Amino acid sequence: MTTSAADARFMARALQLARRGLYTTDPNPRVGCVIVKDGKIVGEGWHERAGEPHAEINALNQAGKMNTHSAGVYLTLEPCCHEGRTPACAPALIKAGVKRVVAAMRDPNPLVAGKGFKQLEGHGIQVAVGLMEAEAEALNPGFISRMKRGRPYVRVKLAASLDGRTGMANGDSKWITSEAARADVQKWRARSSAILTGVSTVLADDPALTVRDFKTGRQPLRVVLDSRLSMSPRARMLRGEGKTLVVTAGEDVALAEALKKAGAEVAHISTPQKSVDLTALLKHLAWLEVNEVLVEAGATLCGALLRQGLVDELVLYYAPHIMGNNERGMFALPPLLRMSDRINMEVTDVRAVGRDWRVIARVSEKQD
């Protein structure tokens, strides 16, 4: 079924509504819905928080029964057809008597994955899929990744000088970037399901790794890679709001129990070499319904993730400094002997943040 300029206008509004849930819907996807009758919007809604009504239900409630019969519905994601924390939405649209549903994309969740559309079509409702699909996918990279790849979307955040140095050789790194850049990082934390760091960062900086200045109603899960369980039970992040998961390859029961008593959860995810298995870790996080992971760590962990092909996106803040070639770099990687060994990136956004520059780049699917 073809779509029109009016369809595009209403879908753009649905996408705008979906963005309102950017920081609050986790682990559910961000979804917007617009109901139109006689060319006018009669109902709008978005999914605000997991466990609360979905976008379709909110829009139907706003429209009222009189306005939904023979109406058109614009959705950023296929309506669900299974009952989870809330009732299914496809039956609600059928019951409301809508005539047409335009959806930006199919739901990647195997429990839905086209079944919602089939339910609608089985009751004589016209369905069009694919309008502004790329924009809808950009709203939910983590949910899509978890459903299709069985792992979260991994975003690495780093702050560096113009020559790519993240700290002095002695470990001093506060503060490379400006207050404006640090405030911008809070937005990435707020939309993330989990923040991943290494124990070296915890021992050196004792960070809280919490979201500040954002009312999200939740704190991301803090995940610490600690192969030998050297994290202190008095670490700052164990005293803050939210949960901390310590992932280890060590088997010292006493150390694990001390961390548990301090409030941490401890998981043993090991390789035969007695290091943390990063691929298995991401699968475990997906099992915990983690959609987006923000990595705030040093060169060793960032380099290992990049080298193993587990990084999807980089968020790099460059400060107007030169620090020299003896200071700490961004990624610990083995020597590259050929230009073809480079990891290619695709820059998707460059902008000023205060006096610094923020560069967003995705790992390119086409490698040399």
Q: Which residues are annotated as a binding site for Zn(2+)?
A: 54, 80, 89
Cα dist from 247 to 199, 259, 331, whole Å: 10, 11, 21
With beta carbons less than 8 A apart as the criterion, state whether 327 and 163 touch.
no
* Per-residue tokens: 140: 């939910």
At 185, which amino acid appears? V
At 2, which amino acid appears? T
Task: Mark the binding-site residues for substrate, compressed into ranges.
Answer: 173, 189, 209, 212, 296
220 DSSP assignment: P
Q: Of 95, 23, 25, 84, whose CA–CA distance to 55 is shortest?
A: 25
CB-based contacts of 66, cutoff 8 Å, min separation 6: none
Task: Mark the binding-site residues, compressed into ranges.
Answer: 54, 80, 89, 159, 173, 175, 189, 201, 205, 209, 212, 227, 296, 298-304
Query: Of 44, 56, 78, 313, which residue is the catalytic one?
Result: 56
Task: Mark the binding-site residues for NADP(+), compressed into ranges.
Answer: 159, 175, 201, 205, 227, 298-304
Spatial separation of the C-alpha atoms in residues 174 and 302, rounded to whole Å: 19
133 is a catalytic site residue? no
Which helix (H) or strand (E) is 304 found in, with range?
helix 299-307
User: Catalytic positions, please?
Assistant: 56
